[in-house]
Structure 1
Amino acid sequence: MTAIPQGRTRRTALLSATCALVVTGAALAGCGSEDPDAGTNGVGKLAPDKIQSRTRTAARSAATVRLSGTVVTSGRTYTLDMRLKDDGGTGSVTSKGGTFRLLRIGEQLYLKADADFWDHADGGDGGTGAAGKLDGKYVKVPTADPAYKKFIGFTDKDLLLDGLLTLHGTLAREGHHQQSGTRTIRVTGDKGSGGTLDVSLEGKPYPLRLVRGGGAGTLRFSDWGKDFTVSEPAKGDTVDYGKQLPTS
């Protein structure tokens, strides 16, 4: 075996170390100069009030959206999983341990729940009265009934989004983040006490996550623009109560 001169070995080691330093330095320089808004829709560079305005406009222009999470209103917590479009919506709402489904087609609102829900609403009749008749059926909600006004907002895309997508107080950007793999810019109101909104930096600046101020719930938005169909329930699955519904 031919011996390698020690001088050559030292030169080779020094050259390798120098190359490593050069490569590391270049990598560090690249990291330090990386633009977090490169390749995005550009809203991350805007003033926070402009970001809020852009995301509200994008949300209103979308034909559909899926909304899930919690909303606290009048001291009551509602857990929602709703798919909404301009002329209707469908999904589930859970409150106080009970779950019911909502379906809106145009101005007609339907509510579907089990006997326990209606039994509680009706003051408890053991399922022999209204609760038994309404169990598992889509019940037409009269427009004059208090339940109509109470629940119609959960199925109205524009009304719901307009009421939710407003941060309160002094707005500020809170850096770049991710929601389900999508890059976002985060905007806060009064350092978070007025709400926190994550806005997509990819494609249209849709809102992806909202933490409402004052502990009023957290919502996620997805399936923007993905179409779905709402249709009248079968006649055999529908009950026209014909008067004011039991109070839920």
Structure 2
Amino acid sequence: MTAIPQGRTRRTAWVAATCALAVTGTVALTGCGGDDPDAGTNGVGKLPADKIQAKTRAAADAAPAVRLSGTVVTSGTTYTLDMRLKADGGTGSVTSKGGTFRLLRVGKQLFLKADADFWSQGQDSSAGGKLDGKYVKVPQGDPAYKKFSGFTDKDVLLSGLLTLHGKLATDGHHSQSGVRTIRVTGDNGSGGTLDVSLEGKPYPLRLVRAGSAGTLSFSDWSKNFPLTEPPKSDTVDYGQQLPTS
């Protein structure tokens, strides 16, 4: 019997071990025993990058709800978001410049809930105590409405975020929170990267925006959640102009 070189034995054992990990979903690998990395998936991993992006945008647009968390950098300001969104509104928290506030939009009505320090930054410093911990109605004509309502609008937010810049290409099979993904890049990553689910519908799961403009994770696709206006006892209608913008 011909002896098997020890190096080959070690190499065979290593391949077997890593392929076993891939099967359990711990890592995502290709080339394990010649297996098709797209076997048992939704098939989008075999498509060209532009087709993958089109399918993931269509899936995201059609989903009734989503949870979005991570950072967005816009106009030089970094916002940390944890928002749940659906067609008729959204709710969640936003952190910026060391302060955190909550947003709630039901239909066209937007509410902003923050502590006294947030409100005391406005022109009317005495308002802080009155509005501390209250849901404040944001008039549609107030600058704050335009500034913050986009964070609660699924269509507006996703259409602005799910865009890769430059030439599209695929960048292999990966995994996000145990879900197999195919990665799409713009200009080899400088134009952003998007991980698309290979399991179930091709939802976007993780986005790295171009120009260091933030990183976002998407979860709870199509998972419904309650969205109602806060009790009147917790609501303040400040009128036509908020004390801060």
Q: TM-score, normalised by structure 2?
A: 0.88
For 1:221, the equivalent position in structure 2 comes to 218
Instruction: Output the amino acid matched with 2:61.
Output: R
- Residue 120 of structure 1 aligns with which residue? 121
What does 1:101-140 correspond to in 2, within 5 Å?
Answer: 101-122=102-123, 125=125, 129-140=126-137
Overall identity of the aligned pairs, in %: 76
1:52-201 counterparts in 2 under 5 A?
Answer: 52-122=53-123, 125=125, 129-201=126-198
* Partners of 2:96 and 2:237 in 1: CA distance: 24
| Partner residue of 1:209 out of 201, 206, 213 | 206
Equivalent-residue separation in structure 2 for 1:233 and 1:64 (angstroms): 20
Q: Which amino acid aligns with 2:181?
A: T
SS in 1 for 2:32: helix
Letter in 2 for 1:233: P
Say which one has the larger Rg: 1
Q: 1:242 aligns with which of 215, 239, 242?
A: 239
C-alpha separation in 2, matches of 1:37 and 1:114: 49
- CA shift digits 1:170-196 (9 cap, x unpaired): 001000000000000000001111110
> What is the root-mean-square deviation of aligned Cα atoms in Å?
2.1
Instruction: Say whether the 8 Å CA contact 1:122–1:131 is kept in structure 2.
Output: no
Q: Are the equivalent residues in 2 in contact too, given 1:194–1:214 (CA < 8 A)?
A: yes
| 2:65–2:223 contact (8 Å) kept in structure 1 | yes
- Please list every run of 5 or more consecutive structure 1 residues that lacks an aligned counterpart in the other structure: 1-13
The count of residues paired between Structure 1 and Structure 2 equals 227
Instruction: Specify every segment of 5 or more residues in structure 2 that has no aligned partner in the other structure, as ranges.
Output: 20-30
- CA apart distance, 1:247: 2.9
Residue pair 2:141, 2:240 contacting (<8 A) in 1 also: no
Q: CA deviation at 1:133?
A: 1.1
Contact 1:66 1:221 in 2 (8 A): yes
Specify the SS of the correspondent of 2:144.
Answer: helix
Aligned-pair CA distance for 1:16: 10
Q: Retained in 2: the 8 A contact 1:44–1:51?
A: yes
The whole-number CA distance in structure 2 between the counterparts of 1:16 and 1:246 is 83
In structure 1, C-alpha distance between the alignment counterparts of 2:241 and 2:76, rounded to whole Å: 24
Q: Provide the C-alpha distance between the structure 2 equivalents of 1:32 and 1:163, rounded to a whole number of angstroms.
A: 41
SS at match of 2:205: strand
**TM-superposition CA deviations, 1:147-178 (whole Å, max 9, x none):** 00000000000110011111000001000000
- Give the match's secondary structure for 1:31: coil
Q: Deviations over 1:7-52 (max 9, x none)?
A: xxxxxxx5997xx98xx59969x82411110100000010001100
Structure 2 CA distance, aligned partners of 1:200 and 1:150? 31
Q: Which has the higher helix share?
A: 1
Per the normalisation by structure 1, the TM-score is 0.87
1:233 paired with 2:221, answer no
